[in-house]
């Protein structure tokens, strides 16, 4: 009788609850490890962007304290950072960055060095600016190709349009110095986001370039003219609201021209080896 009652009795509810609790408490631990791995992977993907975002305020802050020799040192350090980051990149990405550096350097010496559309603190093109353009593009690319941007591409692009549009409207209607150029460049940004090959990269460029322009003009590293010096008709903010749209032309050139450069380099290597 006693044996029958013990065999017929169901397992104690406390044990069943204890087993259930062990399973439940184990699941969050597994999830935490998975979340940690996902966070670590995300940080690796964004490592270039994080390095650039850290370097920009550092170099602009140091620039305020130095003259031309110090700017040359900052230029060497910026080149070293860019080349170090590019060691982990593919030949295609290196070609894109090379296009941006060449294209942007030509624009810098034309618009800052010659026309005076914007003027740097020492009325030159600082040595850290050409490699700095490569870093900005690499940061935008790092953001645009990340898993976070791929998963949330639509909200990222929508937020870019909303923030850029609000800034452009403020520049036209509320700013103490009307910003027609910024509104035009915001139109360029809309076109790149709508029809560009990599809209998330342009959204990343908006984040990085907007922060760079606000910081650089705020520190006095450069200053934009009130109106364009060519026609005298186009007013400009300091900085123009849609500066990232103007920078989008560098990104577009990199995306369009890099494949041809990679193919040409491959042909040259194959001929050299034959």
Taking the domains of the chain in order of start, what are their residue ranges? 12-45, 46-273
Environment class of residue 89 by beta-carbon count within 10 Å: exposed (0-12), middle (13-18) or buried (19+)?
middle
Residue 31 has what pLDDT?
53
Residue 8 has what pLDDT?
47
Residue 265 has what pLDDT?
85
Residue 37 has what pLDDT?
52
Mean pLDDT, contiguous 10-residue spans, the chain (274 residues): 48 46 43 51 80 96 97 98 96 94 95 93 97 96 93 96 97 95 96 91 95 97 95 95 90 86 87 81
């Amino acid at each position: 009788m006693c044996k029958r009652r013990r065999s017929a009795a169901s397992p104690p509810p406390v044990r069943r609850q204890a087993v259930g609790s062990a399973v439940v408490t184990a699941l969050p631990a597994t999830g935490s490890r998975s979340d940690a791995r996902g966070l670590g992977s995300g940080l690796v993907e964004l490592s270039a962007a994080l390095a650039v975002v850290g370097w920009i305020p550092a170099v602009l802050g140091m620039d305020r304290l130095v003259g031309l020799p110090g700017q040359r040192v900052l230029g060497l350090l910026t080149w070293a950072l860019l080349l170090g980051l590019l060691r982990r990149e593919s030949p295609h990405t290196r070609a894109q960055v090379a296009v941006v550096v060449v294209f942007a350097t030509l624009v810098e010496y034309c618009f800052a060095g010659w026309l005076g559309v914007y003027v740097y603190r020492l009325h030159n093109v600082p040595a850290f600016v050409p490699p700095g353009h490569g870093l900005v593009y690499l940061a935008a690319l790092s953001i645009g190709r990340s898993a976070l941007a791929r998963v949330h591409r639509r909200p990222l692009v929508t937020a870019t349009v909303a923030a850029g549009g609000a800034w452009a409207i403020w520049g036209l209607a509320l700013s103490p110095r009307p910003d027609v150029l910024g509104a035009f460049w915001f139109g360029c940004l809309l076109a790149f986001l709508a029809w560009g090959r990599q809209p998330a990269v342009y959204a990343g460029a908006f984040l990085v370039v907007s922060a760079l322009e606000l910081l650089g003009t705020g520190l006095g590293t450069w200053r934009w003219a009130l109106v364009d010096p060519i026609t005298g008709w186009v007013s400009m903010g300091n900085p123009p609201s849609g500066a990232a749209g103007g920078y989008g032309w560098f990104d577009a050139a990199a995306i369009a021209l890099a494949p041809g450069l990679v193919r040409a380099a491959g042909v040259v290597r194959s001929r050299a080896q034959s």
